[in-house]
């Protein structure tokens, strides 16, 4: 039952986390490259190295944010429910 009650919170937290991760990726990319926009994979002017670096960085940021939200949610539910 508690798992069912956690689902809506998890969904909202996941969407918010995706937005935060997207913002963090754009800021980090801007800081490290000076470009305002992240590379588009179909942009013929961008090389493989830049595209794959951006994809790896974006994936790492999204994974860290997701793990943080999932872990934080689990700890919060455990504290609230005692389980």
Q: What is the pLDDT of residues 35-79, one digit of tens each?
A: 888 888 999 999 999 999 999 999 999 999 999 988 888 888 778
**CA 41 – CA 43 distance, rounded (Å):** 6
Q: How far apart, in whole angstroms, are the C-alpha atoms of residue 83 and residue 71?
A: 14
User: What pLDDT, in 10s, does the model give residues 13-37?
Assistant: 889 999 999 999 999 999 999 988 8
- Return the residue matching tokens 């994809």: 55
């Amino acid at each position: 039952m508690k798992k069912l009650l956690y689902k809506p919170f998890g969904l909202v937290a996941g969407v918010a986390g995706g937005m935060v991760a997207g913002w963090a990726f754009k800021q980090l990319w801007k800081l490290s490259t000076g470009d305002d926009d992240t590379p588009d994979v179909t942009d013929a002017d961008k090389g493989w190295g830049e595209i794959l670096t951006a994809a790896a960085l974006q994936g790492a940021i999204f994974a860290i944010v997701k793990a943080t939200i999932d872990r934080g949610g689990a700890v919060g539910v455990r504290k609230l429910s005692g389980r």
